[in-house]
Structures are given as structure tokens and as C-alpha cells.
Amino acid sequence: MHPNPAFRLHGKPEDDRALMERLITEVGFGMIFAATPDGPRLAHTPLRSTGDGAVQFHLARGNALSRYLGGVDALAVVNGPDAYVSPRWYGDDPSQVPTWNYVALELEGPVRRMEEDGLVDLLEALSAREEARLPEPAWTMDKLDGDLRHRMLSAIVGFEMEVRAWRPTFKLSQNKNEAQRTGVIEGLEETGARAMAEMMRGLG
């Protein structure tokens, strides 16, 4: 989390929470970190927010984190758009230096291992979310052969994190004046970083 308070969310708590939930859903993917007896480990995984303060994910049974996560505290990180910011975009100001704008969300809390029913619900929700972004017809889990479905489920483990700390960073040049921010947005658009430019227009 960036130490500058300018890069925090400053809306109503319910609005800030809705924005963080939206980021998890739209990005859909993140990293899980935890300390283990073998040292610090991380895993990359699709993420699903339950909407009531928890985040669900699944890992391969053979993943280095799978055997340790149940019952421990972990950290999840979701990365949104990011882009290099050139000092040239601020105008004629020799005091400016390069920086990087980015959006990131850290989630911390205890993790529990899910039963198979919960894992199936998670997988169905994840595939439905992503298939909805594609042309019809959508793929569904009932297309899997029974034996294959069983083998696939036995190869992964589902987890749910109770999120007790939400730590967002929305570094969108909020510490610059309006003219400088406009210059950054235009520079980002010209260099193809449209997701960051759009984020700055909407949230900065």
C-alpha cells in the first residue's frame, strides 16, 4: 500500500467497498501469499468475491501453499491497470520526475479450506462470470464427463478468506494539479495505456 494518503479512497465506506468488490470481479485474478514452514510462498489464482466480506479461490492440490493454507492468515493481492508516467506530460516543469501510476488492492485475513460442495459452487460461479464475457453459447460444468469431473475436482482444493483488512491503492496522479493530470491522461492515451487513462478520468 502506497504511504501517500492522496492515493487512498475517500468516498463513503459503502461506495469504497463497492469499488473494491468491482475491482476483484473485473480483474478476476490475483496472488495469494502466506508464510509456510518451507518459507514464504505465493500462488496465482482466479478470485471470486462473495459480496459479504470473503474471497474464494482454488489451488492445485500439489501447489506449495495448498497443504498449509487452511487455518492460517494470508494476503491476497489484486492488480488493476498500471502505466509509466513521463515527466514530459506535466508540461514545462523541470522539478518533475518519472513515476508509475497503478491500482492495487491488498486483502488480509484467515483462510479456511472449503468442502467439495463449496468448491463446485466456486468453479461454477467463476466459469459463469468469465463465459458471460464471451459470445454464446456458454460453457458449463455439466458438459464434463462424470469421471473426468471427479478427477478434476480431486486435483484442486478450494479456499475462502475472511477479509479483515482491505488496503487499496489508487495511484492516479491525485497529487498533481488539473492541467498536469490532463497532460498525463492525454499521454497515456497516445501511448496506448487506455485502461489507466480511463481509470484516471473516472476515479482521479
pLDDT tens, 87-99? Answer: 999 988 889 999 9
DSSP E strand boundaries for 47-197: 48-49, 54-60, 73-85, 99-113, 156-162, 165-171
The predicted-structure confidence for 164-178, as pLDDT tens digits, reads as follows: 999 999 999 999 999
The predicted-structure confidence for 49-76, as pLDDT tens digits, reads as follows: 999 999 999 999 999 899 999 899 999 9
Percent of the chain having pLDDT more than 70?
A: 99
pTM (2 decimals)? 0.90
Question: Given a cut of 70, is residue 204 above it in pLDDT?
Answer: no
Find all residues with CB under 8 Å of 55, minimum gap 6, and list them. 24, 47, 48, 49, 76, 107, 160, 161, 163
Q: Sorting pLDDT into bands at 50, 70 and 90, what band is 107?
A: very high
The SS3 assignment for 55 reads: strand
- Average pLDDT (108-122) is 96
Q: Residue 67's closest CA among 108, 31, 111, 30?
A: 111
Q: Which domains does the chain have, with CATH numbers?
A: 5-198 (2.30.110.10)
